[in-house]
Amino acid sequence: MNKSEPTTIVIFGASGDLTRRKLIPALFEVSLEGLLAKGTRIVGFARREKSHEQFRVEIEEALVEFARSKPNAGSDELKVFSSSCYYQTGNYDNGKSFHDLKELLERLDKENGVSPDKGNRLFYLATPPNVFSGIVGMLGQTGHIVDPNSDDRWTRVIIEKPFGRDLETACTLNKSLSAILDERQIYRIDHYLGKETVQNIMAFRFGNSIFEPLWDRRYVSHVHITVAEAVCVEGRGSYYDNSGALRDMVQNHMLQLLALVAMEPPASFAPNAVRDEKVKLLSAIPPIGAGDINECSIRGQYAAGTIDGKLVPDYLRENGVQPNSVTETFVALKLHVDNWRWAGIPFYLRTGKALAERLTEVNIEFRQPPLALFSHMQNGKSGGRGRMKPNMLSLRVQPNEGIRLSIGMKVPGQKMVLEPQDMEFCYEDVFDVESAGAYERLILDAILGDTTLFIRQDEVEAAWKLVNGVLCGWASEEVPHIHLYRAGTWGPYAADEFIKNDIRNSKAL
Ligand code: BG6
C-alpha cells in the first residue's frame, strides 16, 4: 500500500459508537502497520466536555475492546497512538466552536513543523445525518475548506450513511454539500466497498477470462444476493424504526453489490471509470412501481424467537421501536436490469435482521444444459423436472469468505450417475494474512485521495430512485402487507415461496 501524507483527521461525533467501535480501531491498525505518515494527528470533536487526557483514556479503552490486533491495556503501542489524539468540545451549529477547532488544528500543524498554508485535513462526519449539512456549512464559513485545485494541501470530507432518507432528501443533502465542497472533496462511505471480498467481485470478474464470457442472459438464469444478519437492532431501535431494512441495507450495501456483480467492465480501474459503470447499471434497473409492488417485493418483521440459544423479543418490544410499527426488518425484492446483457434475468435481493445466521453471499445460477442427457440417471439430488441441479457460482462475502462452484460430477461406478459437487476456494485456507477491516482500507484511501470505493452523487441518487419506487408502492397500500417471521429463521415463508414460484414460472416460459 502507498504511504499517506501527514494529515489531521477530525472526527465529528467523537463520542459515538461508530468512532469507538470502528474508526479509532481502524486508524490504530493502519498506524501500527506504518501506513499513516509521521505527524498524522487525530482530533475528536463532540458536544461533551472532555480534556485531551480523558479522550485518550477512552481511546485506549476502546482499542483494548475493539482493535483487530487486540492490544494489551497500558501497552506502549496504545500510549504512542493515543498521544497523537486530541479533543475539541463544541457544538455543531456554533461558529465559535469551529474557530476554536481551527486554532487547535493550526497549533498542531505548528508543533509538527507544517507551515500554516500546508496542513491537510480529513473531516469525518460520524454524526447523525441531521447535522451533516450544518457541519459542512460551518466548515465552509470558518475557513476550513481549501480550494480543491490547490497543489499545496487538501481538504476531504468523509460522510457516513444514510445519505438522505429518500430521493428528495438525498438531493437536498447533495445540493447543500456541493454548495461548499467540490465533488472531488466528498467521500461518501459505504463500508461494504471496503470489504476484501466485495473488491474481489471485480477482481474475479475482470481479472479472469473464463467467467466473464458466461456472465450474461445467455448463460445465467438468475442471481440471488443475500445479506442475512443474525443480530437484531442492537440498541439502535429508534434509528432503525425510522429507517427499515430497505433504507438501511438495500439502498446502499445491496445495490452496491448488485452494481459490482452486474456492471459492464470499466475502461480502466480509475475512480470515475468504475463509478460511471455502476451508475449506468443502477440507471438500467426500472423502479418497481405501485402496480407491481406485490409481485416484486415482500417485507417482513421479526417476532420473538431464539438465536444461538438466546431469546429474542418481538421487534415491536425493542427499545425505541413504536409499539404499532410497520417498519420492515426483512425485505426481498425482485429487480431486472434492462440492458443488453441482462434483459429478462431476475435479480433477487434478500436481507433481514434476526435471521438464522450471518451470511452475505451472491449466488449466480446458470442455465441448464440444452439437452438433459443424464436426467434419468442422477443421484436423487434433482434440479427439478428430473434434471440435475443447475451449476451455481457463489461469491461468499462473509463469513468464511470465498468462492464456491457447484458442478455435476459422475459418481464412481458402472452406472452414469451424476451428483452435484462443490469446488471451493476459501480465503482463510489460502492466504496467511488477516484481511484489513473495511474502515482501515477506506480511511486510508481517503487520505491517499482515491475515490474509487466511495459513492458519487449520481450513484446515490440512482439508488434512491429505485428505492423510492418501492417506498411509494408500500405507502400506497391501504393495509401494510407485512409478514411476521420468527427470529432465528430465514425470514418469512412468503419470501421463499415468492422467489421459488417466480423461478419456477420463469423457467417454464
Ligand atoms: C450498517 C447497517 O450499514 O451495516 C447495520 O446500518 C448493519 O444495520 C450493518 O448491521 C451490517 O454491516 P456488516 O459489515 O456487519 O455486514
How would you write 274-333 as a 3-class SS string? HHHHHHHHHHCCCCCCHHHHHHHEEEEEEECEEECCEEECCHHHCCCCCCCCCCCCEEEE
d(CA 15, CA 56): 12
Predicted local confidence at residue 377, as pLDDT:
63
Judged by phi (left if over 0) then psi (alpha if -120 to 50, else beta), residue 16 lies in beta
Sign, Cα dihedral of 286, 289, 291, 292: positive
**pLDDT tens per residue, the chain (509 residues)?**
445 678 999 999 999 999 999 999 999 999 999 999 888 999 999 999 999 999 999 999 999 999 999 999 999 999 999 999 999 999 999 999 999 999 999 999 998 888 877 889 999 999 999 999 999 999 999 999 999 999 889 999 999 999 999 999 999 999 999 999 999 999 999 999 999 999 999 999 999 999 999 999 999 999 999 999 999 998 899 999 999 999 999 999 999 999 999 999 999 999 999 999 999 999 999 999 888 898 899 999 999 999 999 999 999 999 999 999 999 999 999 999 999 999 999 999 999 999 999 999 999 999 998 888 876 666 655 554 456 789 999 999 999 899 999 999 999 988 888 889 999 999 888 887 777 889 999 999 999 999 999 999 999 999 999 999 999 999 998 888 899 999 999 999 999 999 988 888 876 55
CATH number for the domain formed by residue range(s) 8-160: 3.40.50.720
- List the residue whose alpha carbon is closest to atom 14 of ligand 1: 192
- List the residue whose alpha carbon is closest to atom 15 of ligand 1: 229
Span from the CA of 49 to the centroid of ligand 1 (angstroms) = 30
Predicted local confidence at residue 385, as pLDDT:
47
Predicted local confidence at residue 376, as pLDDT:
62
Q: CB–CB of 298/328 below 8 Å?
A: no
d(CA 122, CA 132): 15
Largest CA distance in the chain: 85
Cell numbers of 132, please?
451533516
Over the range 180-190, which residues count as b (16 or more CB within 10 Å of their CB) and which as e? bbeeebbbbbb
How many C-beta atoms surround the C-beta of residue 491 within 10 A?
A: 27
Q: Determine whether 253 is an active site residue.
A: yes
Q: Do domains 8-160 and 193-367+462-508 have the same CATH topology?
A: no
Span from the CA of 136 to the centroid of ligand 1 (angstroms) = 25
Q: CB–CB of 259/339 below 8 Å?
A: no
Cell numbers of 377, please?
440417471
CA 220, 223, 229: angle at the middle one, nearest 5? 160
Best probe residue, ligand 1, of 248, 254, 329, 397 (max atoms within 8 Å of C-beta): 248
Answer yes or no: is the C-beta of 277 below 6 A from any ligand 1 atom: no
Answer yes or no: is the C-beta of 248 below 6 A from any ligand 1 atom: yes
pTM score, whole prediction: 0.94
Q: CB–CB of 205/486 below 8 Å?
A: no
Best probe residue, ligand 1, of 66, 188, 191, 455 (max atoms within 8 Å of C-beta): 191
Pairing of the two strands 392-398 and 359-366? antiparallel
Closest CA to 10 of 92, 73, 110: 92
- List the residue whose alpha carbon is closest to atom 9 of ligand 1: 249
- List the residue whose alpha carbon is closest to atom 2 of ligand 1: 248
Span from the CA of 470 to the centroid of ligand 1 (angstroms) = 21
Answer yes or no: is the C-beta of 229 below 6 A from any ligand 1 atom: yes
Span from the CA of 248 to the centroid of ligand 1 (angstroms) = 8
Over the range 343-363, which residues count as b (16 or more CB within 10 Å of their CB) and which as e? eebbbbbbbbbbbbeebbbbb
CATH number for the domain formed by residue range(s) 193-367+462-508: 3.30.360.10
Answer yes or no: is the C-beta of 190 below 6 A from any ligand 1 atom: no
Span from the CA of 372 to the centroid of ligand 1 (angstroms) = 42
Q: CB–CB of 324/202 below 8 Å?
A: no
CA distances from 263 to 34, 184, 299, 338, 454 (A): 35, 23, 27, 12, 16
Predicted local confidence at residue 478, as pLDDT:
85
Of the candidates 253, 336, 376, 481, the residue annotated as catalytic is: 253
Span from the CA of 283 to the centroid of ligand 1 (angstroms) = 25
Question: What's the Rg (C-alpha) of the chain?
Answer: 25
| DSSP code, position 382 | B
Answer yes or no: is the C-beta of 160 below 6 A from any ligand 1 atom: no
- Break the chain into its structural domains and give their ranges: 8-160, 193-367+462-508, 368-432
Coil/strand/helix, residue 244: helix
Q: Which ligand 1 atom minimizes the distance to the CA of 398? A: 16
